[in-house]
Structure 1
Amino acid sequence: MTDDWDFYFLQVDDKPASIYVDLGAHDFAPNPKLPHMAYVRLHMREPRDDGLSSRAEFDALVSVEDALTASLVNVETQYVGRCTTDSCRDFFFYVSHPQAWSSRVAACMLSFDCYKYEADTREEPDWSSYFSYLYPSDADRQTIENRRVCEALKRNGDKLSEPREIDHWAYFADAKSLTAYVEEALQLGFKVRAISAPDDTRDNHSAQLWRSDIPALNSIDDVTLPLFNLAAKNGGEYDGWESIVVS
């Protein structure tokens, strides 16, 4: 496991889901020494009406997760994330040898006999469950980064309640794509701060746009994702945003 973990929300089979994933594992995956995906599916006892976890069960679920990772993780077992949806919480691991997985899990779950669970493995040398299921899409990764910037602002005394100029960056391979992006962004109320062409230090075209908005946790995605989608539509890459601290 690495130290770079985070969560995001999405829909899985048209149902709300929350994924908590080791983002840092992406840089080292797949590990050829751990070619089997192993999982534990826990049936929650007090889920919310939408199938996600409730505050009432929070401590119990943390205890189960802590016990599983403490008991199961070693040089031959790596924990990579979990998905909570449809009244279940699935824990995902990659292991060297799958033969003893069920018995290892059973020994750990003896301390939680009030929970129903299943455990199984499958051969998965490409780590497809990690890459295709747990790891966030580019848009979901942007929502994670949005939350991280907001939390950094809060740590510096920003109440995230006042509008201010927020700058946004995007990069493109050619001037035509950049121009198309900027023209559509202007229709959304953004303004141009700077346009840069390739030079000796970079080989792409860039646009720095700004608009006055409130970087609130519950609304910043509505500010950034339209620009993210516009950049992708025009073959470019949205590269995040920046705000002064308003204390």
Structure 2
Amino acid sequence: VLPIEVQNSFGLPSAHAELAVAIWGLVALRLRRPLATVALGLLAFLIGLSRVYRGAHFPLDVLGGFLLGFAVLAAFLLAEPAVARAAGRLHPGTRILAALALSLVAVAASGAVAGADGLWAPDPAWTGDVADLAPVSIEFTLIAGGFGLGLVIGRELERAPRPFRSLAAGTAGTLLGLAILALLWFGVGLVLPDAGLEAAIGVYIRGAAIGVWVLAGAPAVFARVGLLDTGPRNPHHPWKSTG
């Protein structure tokens, strides 16, 4: 096997496969359109297959990711109604503090696991000549925790979603949104430390900034530059116009 991509951490399960099933599976369930379900299912499968093709994972890693993705999706669907009702009864500030607390608990738990390995290191026979090994890292927990907090903050700031006024406007908005997102992550990352506590805080804050941008910043900018539909909103589907 000649890998196209070399990873520096464990392979089981494949996070790409897990997230593909969980995210695109949820989108398919929300859309409730057979063609979309087939297309998104194929997309998730191809994402998993690409990890094998690139030599980043064994087939078992991808299968494990798919199964974990289904489990995460099922858990979300079961818990989401009750959690949403409970969160809806809280003050907005309390919701933000709760999201902050939950994200920090996740980071602390991840840090405890990472710190528990002590001086342990993988057997060189497992890793070959892979450099910069990071078999146990809290980076992705920092990203997810910060992003989740940012989504909650963004949800409190933006309560009136609107559709793009045209396909061209949607295309322009998507490109603009992705450009700002890249600037927030990669651009800001260039001026931050790449190791130590400061780096960890920077990763967390950048994740939070992206969450706020996705739910509140981007829609506000799109509205300001005239990319969004200003017609009456559909009361049942506020992201759709009534026209």
Q: Which structure features the higher share of helix residues?
A: 2
TM-score for both structures, normalised by structure 2: 0.25
Structure of larger gyration radius: 1
Q: Which structure features the higher share of strand residues?
A: 1
TM-score for both structures, normalised by structure 1: 0.24
